């Protein structure tokens, strides 16, 4: 009897399936989608759109994440950060992962059709293909600009949320897309500096591997400067109010400081704090977008009542 079969079978639990979905990434993605929904209307978002739409986007993002695990199982086995994932360890086999991804994707698409509209369903499907196929199967292995182009899929959720409510692509939705799109390079390249040797070992052409760490540090700083400017646009275009401006300035200045330190001090131990902060930043920025939206809407309604 194969002695490995007992622990492997025993370990194939719900936790392995859960890990396939990249839960923390999907949680933040879903949050940005919900904020997109809130900002699309001064009214309350209809409950079926809020709940069914968010669950649909989350399930399709989780399906894309599971496909990413499936496609990347060989390179994941070569990297310290990813070698304990369910497919490289053998806790799940590729067929189980494929079936799980299909189920998640179909349930997600069904929910979106039922609770939102065909445009949201189609755009979410394109995002799934963008991440699971275009980024994972092709770009990731082909060019150090992989995450800049592939970032479009990860930036889509706030736009998807917005379209779920409004039924069309509006300028505000594109603005939220742009923020996440410009945020992605400093988010990922900070981690890629920290994990450069992993990517080199697996032969994945990430920027620190192909162009060196010094160049990547500069790119992190430059994209953070652009992000700082882009994050002011919701205020400058009157999508958001002064509370948002304050939040964006505070959060953005801290991001700039960390990216500047990483660039200036040339100490790679400063890369991980930039990566960790990038997540705090995106969560904070979208939280403040949402809080400002309701305050701003309330004030406008009060003003209308009083005048």
Ligand X SMILES: CC(C)=CCC/C(C)=C/CC/C(C)=C/COP(=O)(O)OP(=O)(O)O
One residue of 38, 100, 181, 188 binding ligand HEM per CB under 6 A: 188
| Residue count, binding to ligand X (CB under 6 A) | 21
Give CA separation, 43 vs 18, 62, 177, in Å. Answer: 35, 29, 22
Backbone φ and ψ for 212, nearest 5 degrees, come out as 90, 160
CB atoms within 10 A of CB 24: 9
Q: In 3D, which of 155, 185, 181 has the Cα closest to residue 259?
A: 185
Cα 42 to chain centroid, rounded = 25
Indicate the residue whose CB is closest to ligand HEM.
Answer: 154
Beta carbon nearer to ligand X, 60 or 271: 60
Taking CB under 6 A as the binding criterion, the range among 55-63, 164-172, 240-248, 279-287 that sits at the site for ligand X is 55-63
Q: How far is the CB of 44 from ligand X (least distance, A)?
A: 23
Is there binding between residue 240 and ligand X (CB under 6 A)? no
Q: How far is the CB of 156 from ligand X (least distance, A)?
A: 6
CB atoms within 10 A of CB 290: 19
DSSP secondary-structure letter at 44? Answer: P
* Partner touching 32 among ligand X, ligand HEM, none, CB below 5 to 8 Å by kind: ligand HEM
One residue of 82, 216, 219, 224 binding ligand X per CB under 6 A: 82
One residue of 157, 161, 208, 284 binding ligand X per CB under 6 A: 157
Cα 159 to chain centroid, rounded = 12
Beta carbon nearer to ligand X, 127 or 231: 127
* Partner touching 230 among ligand X, ligand HEM, none, CB below 5 to 8 Å by kind: none
Beta carbon nearer to ligand X, 131 or 244: 131
Cα angle vertex 75, ends 73, 63, to 5°?
40
In what helix (H) or strand (E) does residue 256 lie, and over which residues does it extend? helix 242-265
Q: How far is the CB of 249 from ligand X (least distance, A)?
A: 27
Taking CB under 6 A as the binding criterion, the range among 38-46, 114-122, 166-174, 179-187 that sits at the site for ligand HEM is 179-187
User: Can you tell me the distance from the alpha carbon of 233 to that of 270, in angstroms, rounded to the nearest whole number?
Assistant: 29
Q: In 3D, which of 192, 187, 205 has the Cα closest to residue 144?
A: 205
User: Can you tell me the distance from the alpha carbon of 137 to that of 159, in angstroms, rounded to the nearest whole number?
Assistant: 24
Q: How far is the CB of 187 from ligand HEM (least distance, A)?
A: 6
* Three-state SS at 62: helix
Residues that bind ligand HEM (CB under 6 A): 24-25, 28-29, 32, 81, 147, 150-151, 154, 180, 184, 187-188, 191, 279, 282
What is the contact surface with ligand X in residues (CB under 6 A)? 22, 25, 29, 57, 60-61, 64-65, 68, 72, 82, 124, 127-128, 131, 136, 140, 153-154, 156-157
């Amino acid at each position: 009897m194969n002695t490995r079969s007992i622990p492997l079978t025993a370990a194939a639990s719900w936790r392995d399936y859960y890990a396939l979905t990249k839960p923390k990434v999907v949680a933040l993605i879903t949050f940005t989608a919900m904020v997109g929904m809130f900002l699309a209307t001064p009214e309350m978002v209809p409950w079926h759109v809020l709940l069914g739409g968010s669950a649909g986007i989350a399930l399709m993002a989780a399906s894309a994440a599971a496909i990413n695990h499936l496609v990347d199982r060989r390179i994941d086995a070569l990297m310290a950060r990813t070698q304990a994932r369910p497919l490289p360890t053998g806790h799940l086999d590729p067929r189980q992962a494929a079936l799980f991804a299909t189920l998640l994707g179909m349930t997600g698409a069904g929910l979106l059709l039922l609770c939102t509209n065909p445009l949201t369903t189609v755009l979410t499907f394109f995002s799934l293909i963008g991440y699971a196929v275009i980024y994972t199967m092709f770009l990731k292995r082909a060019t150090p600009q992989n995450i800049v182009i592939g970032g479009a899929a990860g930036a889509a959720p706030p736009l998807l949320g917005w379209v779920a409510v409004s039924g069309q692509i509006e300028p505000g939705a594109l603005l939220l897309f742009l923020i996440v799109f410009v945020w992605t390079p400093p988010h990922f390249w900070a981690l890629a500096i920290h994990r450069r040797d992993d990517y080199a070992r697996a032969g994945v052409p990430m920027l620190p591997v192909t162009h060196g760490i010094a160049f990547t540090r500069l790119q992190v700083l430059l994209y953070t400067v652009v992000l700082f400017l882009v994050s002011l646009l919701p205020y400058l275009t009157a999508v958001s109010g002064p509370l948002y401006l304050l939040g964006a300035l505070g959060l953005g200045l801290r991001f700039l400081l960390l990216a500047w330190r990483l660039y200036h001090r040339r100490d790679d131990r400063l890369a991980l704090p930039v990566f960790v902060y990038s997540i705090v930043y995106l969560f904070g920025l979208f939280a403040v977008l949402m809080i400002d939206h309701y305050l701003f809407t309330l004030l406008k309604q009060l003003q209308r009542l009083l005048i």
